[in-house]
Amino acid sequence: MLERVVVSMFRSATRTDSQSSSTEKMDTSIFNEKESEMSSETCGDIEIDNSNHVLLKIATLYTEKLMTDICLVVGGIEYPAHRLILCTSSDVFQVMLMDSRWSESREKRVVLQETLACSAVFGEFLKYFYTGRIKINLQTIMPILALADKYNVKELTPLCVQYMCDHIAHAAMNNELISWFHYTLALGHYQVAKGCQNFIKWNLELISKTSDFGSLHHELLGKLLQQNDVVVQNEMAVYNCVVHWLNLQKQQMIEDSEPQVDACMESLVQDMMSHVRFPMMTPRQLAELLLSPLTKQYKEFFIERMAMGMSFHSGQAERVAEICQVESGRLLFTPRLYTADKWSSLLTVENFIQLPAYHTRTLVFSSHAFLEECAGEKTCEWVSEIDCLYH
């Protein structure tokens, strides 16, 4: 009896161990399958970005002057550098330092000729090669752009151009606008040049009061004065701006001890004042010009120009038609964007921010029907509808 019990227990134990072993094998198999699936999902390529540390190491080469193999001399200051960095950052340096036809390619010390303004910012310019960062402001942007243009640093030039486009008004208030206009026009940065030109045209009276107005080249001023979209109070304001510019030119000529100042001034007066639209002045304003010192000095020229204005206001159609036979003559009888009450109206939309979407507000105003004085005070009535497309 005891033997049967022992045998039974042995068989039971044996059966349990076998089943347990089978279960363990199944669990192990399932685990291996899951591990394989997880491995296939998570063990792909992982990109590790450590570029900041690499850039820091490159910047350290500049700040610590480590392993330099060339020295640039600018304005008497030595700048240890690396040919590899210079050549990869600038096409000009690449040719200068790698082309055997250039003597600089065999030199360890290269002297660069730069203006005082460019010399002052050359250290920051060179540091940009190593760090990709540079500080710019209204005073340094011009020399930095000049260096970027000279050494053909392609990625820096558009950044400088964009900065200038965004800060044209600030440049005007800091007496930098005229120099920006000259440089960008000469170097082909027409986007900036166009912005500068428009700002001058639309703020001529403001610009004429800045200290750099006198540096505006006479050809550029002449082209500006031929534009119809010059924004001024009236044509007398244009005349006053030109007079101020002429006085600045004379003062500069005297300071520079230039010969034949009187002859040069006579030529400038006739050239610039020929673009002033005297017919757009009122007869009273034309009469006031007789008291101007400039008019008295160049009386014959101004009497002829003022006579054109009086012919227009007195209704001498044949004389006006004769003057209009050429383009420059036709411009004399074309008004600019005058802001005086006679030429413009101030339209006010009250409670504009409270208007509902797609609301229409109707405004009525009047203007003179004719430009010439002889036509009288007849007016035209205008109706303007202003749509509020969105709130």
**H or E, element range at 77:** strand 77-81
Is residue 143 within 8 A of residue 118, CB to CB? The reply is yes
- Taking the model in full, what pTM does it have? 0.80
The first and second tokens of residue 252, run together, are 């500069």
Residue with tokens 């500068």: 196
The tens digit of pLDDT for each residue in 240-294 reads 999 999 999 999 999 999 999 999 999 999 999 999 999 999 999 999 999 999 9
Phi-psi region of 76 (alpha: psi -120 to 50; beta: other; left: phi over 0): left
Q: Which two tokens stand for residue 64?
A: 């610590």
Highest-confidence segment of 53-57, 113-117, 127-131: 113-117
CATH of 54-166, one of 1.10.3210.10, 2.40.170.20, 2.60.120.700, 3.30.710.10: 3.30.710.10
Dist. CA 336–CA 333, nearest whole Å: 10
pLDDT at 43: 63
For 159, other C-beta atoms within 10 Å of its C-beta total 17
Q: Which tokens hold the place of 350?
A: 């009250």
| Residue ranges, CATH 3.30.710.10, the chain | 54-166
Model confidence band, residue 353 (pLDDT cutoffs 50, 70, 90): confident
The structure tokens 């792909």 sit at 44
| Predicted pLDDT of residue 7 | 42
In this prediction, residue 138 has a pLDDT band, given cuts at 50, 70 and 90, of very high
* Angle (CA) 96 99 103, round 5°: 65
Closest CA to 247 of 232, 261, 230: 261
Confidence category of residue 16, pLDDT binned at 50, 70, 90: very low
pLDDT at position 9: 42
DSSP state of 155: T
Cα angle 299, 231, 253 (rounded to 5 degrees) comes to 45
Considering 199-208, 309-318, 378-387, the range whose residues carry the highest mean pLDDT is: 199-208
Question: What average pLDDT does the chain have?
Answer: 87
